[in-house]
Structure 1
Amino acid sequence: MLTLPFTQVLQGVLKRRIFKNFLSLTFYQIANYIFPLVTIPYLSRVLGAEKFGLVMFAHSLILYFNILTDYGFNLSAVREIAVHADNNKKIWEIFNSVVLIKLAFVILTFFILLFLISFFDKFNADYKVYLFAFPAVLGQSLFPIWFFQGMQQMKYITYFSIITKLTYIVLIFTFVKNSSDYLLVPLFNSVSAIGSGVLTFLISVYNFKLKIYIPSFEKIKFYLIDGWYVFLSQVSMQLFNSANILLLGLLADNKSVAYFAGADKIIKAFNYLAVPIVNAIFPYVGGLFKRSKNEAFKFLKVIIRTFAPIFLTVSLFIFIFSEKICIVFLGEEFTNSSAVLRILSLVPFFVFMNNIFGTQILINLGCKRNYAMVFIISGVFNIVLIMLLVWKFKYIGVAISSFFAEFIVVSGMYYFAKKEGFKIL
């Protein structure tokens, strides 16, 4: 029972599939996010602030394309797969519908990229960077993490993520030697993404004996509608995520992008500590909500009491040692990034809490509209505040805006979670 002491609760959880899934997700996050961060200290020094900023700007554009192709399926499709895990025909329907929608969005985003390169000097001047970076969108669309997570079989994804990311690291350290090699960075990232996407797609089809076919228009329409509000929330989330770098690149210089992006990479590394926790418990919490809302709330309170102090400690560590972290991680040229890091030091704690209130509670309770509304409001607020601050304060202004946007998210998610009956105390 969830009323037992935490040690007994943990012992029970260890016996379940959720723990194995947690371990797989942890190693997946290390491979997908932490491994590439190994190259950041090297790239920031080898490329210099100017080219490093350009590469980060291109990467932020690709992240937007990935959000479009993901279309919220990393939450909505996970839920559908988890619910119908024992129904092969339903699994085939979900898999084929999601993959077809994703590939259609890949084609759409490629035409958007061609439009930007053709009609805007900012993109035309460095068009090779964007063309070399784009294949990563295709790789991401083929990468069926949503399927494996819903089936709670993350080990397959983890193995190949580790292999492909290690390949990326080796390629970077072997071939990128000076600032003139900056084009190799997006190219190698694309090679890694394509390799990982194709291999895991084939494994999902082979190991789970999936039947590939073109689903009916009605089925495709259903999954488009089902993922709509999650998609809106993900797009809005990027309004205070990738949009920060995108707007900096459009309204300021590449060095400002580099200073903010460097600190942002560090913050995201700490943010990702929460990802394996919240992703691993998501299907399990969904099952608890189906049985009893109170049971799910009790479990989530245990999670908060266990991990919230850890993330507060992490935030304090970032604030105190921000300058040393930037010098070690990015190099002497990036000491300006320490101010950004200090401003954003509470963000890892905010991200963990907003995942509990938003993903675990609102999404599992079907409150997708409220979930999306919070991100839309915070995203619009972030864009407006950036436009007011970036002209005078550049990367510092963007950091201030990003902090307040994150605060709005965690406050808004808790407000709606509380309306559903959840209270921290």
Structure 2
Amino acid sequence: MKLIPNFIHRRIAHRPNLIKIVENIGWLFFDKILRMGVGLFVGVWIARYLGPEQFGLLNFATAFVGLFSAISVLGLQSIVVRNLVRDPQCRDETLGTAAVLQFVGGLLAYGFIIAAIFWMRADDQLSKTLVAILGATMLFKASDVAMYWFESQVQSKYTVWVQNGVFLIFTGINVALIMNNAPLIAFAWVMTAQALIVALSLLIVLGLRGPGLRLLQARMSRAKSLLADSWPLFLSSIAVMIYMKIDQIMLGQMIGDEAVGIYSAAVRISEVWYFVPMSIVASVFPAILEAKKRSEEQYYRQLQQLYDLMVWLAIAIAIPLTFLATPIVTLLFGSAYEQAGTVLSIHIWAAVFVFLGVASGKWFLAENRQILSLQRTALGAVVNIAVNSALIPLYGVRGAAWATVISYATAALLADLVQLETRKMFLMKMQTLNILKVICRIQQ
């Protein structure tokens, strides 16, 4: 399946590495656009079927599990990809060790999830059951090493095939649940089953198209090396999950599950765009690492171009959604979710800082400055909790949306100004707002 149009292919035919990057981005976009379109349609149908309160409870449980997901991954993704690019001779040891570490991390995460929900909602049996079912997905995280391998090889088409095939099958199952008036808990079981099938399929594809599974091996020395590099990213990921998920959890605890349902409807539309920076950055990161080996000037020029692209893509998405938020929400979710329109018009501006944060996160990895990354994300998490605590009692779901924008801006932009080592990054990010300079850089 050829995803690069012929007129683009002709222009870059003399640059095989660029063709590989563009094709990889194409596969990732195909993956996310398909799932965005179909998933949004089915997600809206589920939201209408369940209503704000039950939909809110399902999203509360999902967010609660997500809050602990960083424990299962241990900050290894970027470290493993980096090591596979830098040291391909040790691929079997790197992948095998990472798989074992993430399996252990998944067990720890599941234990924390169960303990936490029994403490927070001791008298709510349905919440405890939903979280216990969804939390089981943490046990399948070892299979993520397949995605790391194909990302390092700029061959994401294989993971796209797996994830989309399973996704379409389970989309049909979700539709069948709706048509048969299934209870809320059935949707949780389907989500967990989908994660299990994806995990098994990824491992099969890794064995067929990547290193053979029998060749993978785990070593204590490699585990120590990976964890020594990843622990700041691990703590940083915990902070990221806090300021990405804590708003829904705090809304559920402070106001109620219906508020979570309203807020989640807006967030579903707002966050659906986050695949854009993740797909682009995942594809260009190996090339940026190669540029750093050749020339610092070329390295920072490519980073600046990436920042320019990220900011203006986000602005192009945010402006129309700001004005069309309420009609879009009402059209999709129905009048019961009308309040989500105002939330969406605020929350969508967090995308500017999310896009920037995804791009600049690779700088910390390339420079081996994970501690700095940890500091800025920890600051964002603290700001998010503090602002949510102040604004939710006053403004409800709108307060949670403002808290998200403020905390994302703090982590992705303002923290760079505070830290001396990252002040250059702050200036580079501010340059993206000068549209004339951006145009000049594109023409160079």
Q: 1:303 to 1:247 in 2, by over 3 A?
A: same
* 1:419 correspondence with 2:424: yes
Structure 1 Cα separation of the partners of residues 117 and 68 of structure 2? 15
Question: For the Cα contact (< 8 Å) 1:322–1:342, is it kept in 2?
Answer: yes
Q: Which residue of 1 aligns with 2:110?
A: 110
Within 5 Å, which residues of 2 pair with 1:7-46? Answer: 12=15, 15-30=18-33, 35-46=38-49
Question: For the Cα contact (< 8 Å) 1:160–1:200, is it kept in 2?
Answer: yes
Q: Which residue of 2 aligns with 1:225?
A: 228
Structure 2 Cα separation of the partners of residues 63 and 13 of structure 1? 38
What do residues 179-212 of structure 1 show as CA deviations (whole Å, max 9, x unaligned)?
A: 7521121111111111111111122134322445
Question: For the Cα contact (< 8 Å) 2:416–2:426, is it kept in 1?
Answer: no
Greater RCO, CA 8 A, separation 6+: 1
Q: Which residue of 1 aligns with 2:198?
A: 196
* 1:288 correspondence with 2:291: yes
Structure 2 Cα separation of the partners of residues 23 and 220 of structure 1? 34
Within 5 Å, which residues of 2 pair with 1:136-285? Answer: 136-143=137-144, 144-177=146-179, 181-207=183-209, 208-212=211-215, 215-285=218-288
Q: Which residue of 1 aligns with 2:348?
A: 345
Q: Which residue of 2 aligns with 1:93?
A: 93
Structure 1 Cα separation of the partners of residues 34 and 203 of structure 2? 18
Letter in 1 for 2:178: V
Q: Which residue of 2 aligns with 1:308?
A: 311
Q: 1:37 to 1:417 in 2, by over 3 A?
A: farther
Q: 1:169 to 1:300 in 2, by over 3 A?
A: same
The alignment of Structure 1 onto Structure 2 pairs a total of residues equal to 415
- 1:170 deviates by 0.6
Question: For the Cα contact (< 8 Å) 2:177–2:187, is it kept in 1?
Answer: no
- 1:9 deviates by 7.7
- 1:132 deviates by 2.4
Question: For the Cα contact (< 8 Å) 1:66–1:140, is it kept in 2?
Answer: no
Q: 1:238 to 1:293 in 2, by over 3 A?
A: same
Structure 2 Cα separation of the partners of residues 118 and 421 of structure 1? 43
Q: Which residue of 1 aligns with 2:57?
A: 54
- 1:301 deviates by 2.9
Q: Which residue of 1 aligns with 2:69?
A: 66
Corresponding residue to 1:398 among 400, 415, 428: 400
Q: Which structure 1 segments of 5+ residues have no match?
A: 1-6
Letter in 2 for 1:92: D
Structure 1 Cα separation of the partners of residues 256 and 20 of structure 2? 49
What do residues 203-258 of structure 1 show as CA deviations (whole Å, max 9, x unaligned)?
A: 21343224456523232122122111111221111122111112212222111101
Question: For the Cα contact (< 8 Å) 2:28–2:156, is it kept in 1?
Answer: yes
Q: 1:141 to 1:47 in 2, by over 3 A?
A: farther
- 1:405 deviates by 0.5
**Equivalent position SS for 2:329:** helix
Structure 2 Cα separation of the partners of residues 281 and 366 of structure 1? 18
Letter in 2 for 1:170: G
TM-score, normalising length: structure 2: 0.86
Q: Which residue of 2 aligns with 1:4?
A: none
What do residues 266-302 of structure 1 show as CA deviations (whole Å, max 9, x unaligned)?
A: 1111222222111111111111112212102222333
Letter in 1 for 2:424: K
**Equivalent position SS for 1:227:** helix
**Equivalent position SS for 2:68:** helix
Question: For the Cα contact (< 8 Å) 1:132–1:186, is it kept in 2?
Answer: yes
| Cα RMSD (Å) | 2.5
Letter in 2 for 1:379: A
Range with bigger deviation, 111-120 or 371-380: 111-120
**Equivalent position SS for 2:243:** coil
Q: Which residue of 1 aligns with 2:325?
A: 322
- 1:330 deviates by 1.9
- 1:79 deviates by 1.0
Question: For the Cα contact (< 8 Å) 1:50–1:255, is it kept in 2?
Answer: yes
Structure 1 Cα separation of the partners of residues 279 and 393 of structure 2? 38
Question: For the Cα contact (< 8 Å) 2:61–2:127, is it kept in 1?
Answer: no
What do residues 138-169 of structure 1 show as CA deviations (whole Å, max 9, x unaligned)?
A: 33442331221112221110101110111121
Letter in 2 for 1:163: G
Question: For the Cα contact (< 8 Å) 1:339–1:396, is it kept in 2?
Answer: yes
**Equivalent position SS for 2:368:** coil
Q: 1:31 to 1:223 in 2, by over 3 A?
A: farther
**Equivalent position SS for 1:121:** coil
- 1:332 deviates by 1.3
Structure 1 Cα separation of the partners of residues 323 and 111 of structure 2? 45
**Equivalent position SS for 1:49:** helix
**Equivalent position SS for 1:273:** helix
Matched residues, percent identical?
Answer: 16
Question: For the Cα contact (< 8 Å) 2:98–2:142, is it kept in 1?
Answer: no
Q: 1:346 to 1:213 in 2, by over 3 A?
A: closer
Question: For the Cα contact (< 8 Å) 1:18–1:281, is it kept in 2?
Answer: yes
Structure 2 Cα separation of the partners of residues 377 and 20 of structure 1? 37
Q: 1:419 to 1:305 in 2, by over 3 A?
A: closer
User: Which protein is richer in helix relative to its size?
Assistant: 2
Structure 2 Cα separation of the partners of residues 286 and 218 of structure 1? 25
Q: Which structure 2 segments of 5+ residues have no match?
A: 1-9, 432-436, 438-444
Runs of 4+ in structure 1 displaced over 6 angstroms? 7-11
**Equivalent position SS for 1:261:** helix
- 1:409 deviates by 2.0
Q: 1:47 to 1:19 in 2, by over 3 A?
A: same
Letter in 1 for 2:205: I
Q: 1:422 to 1:147 in 2, by over 3 A?
A: farther
Letter in 2 for 1:234: S
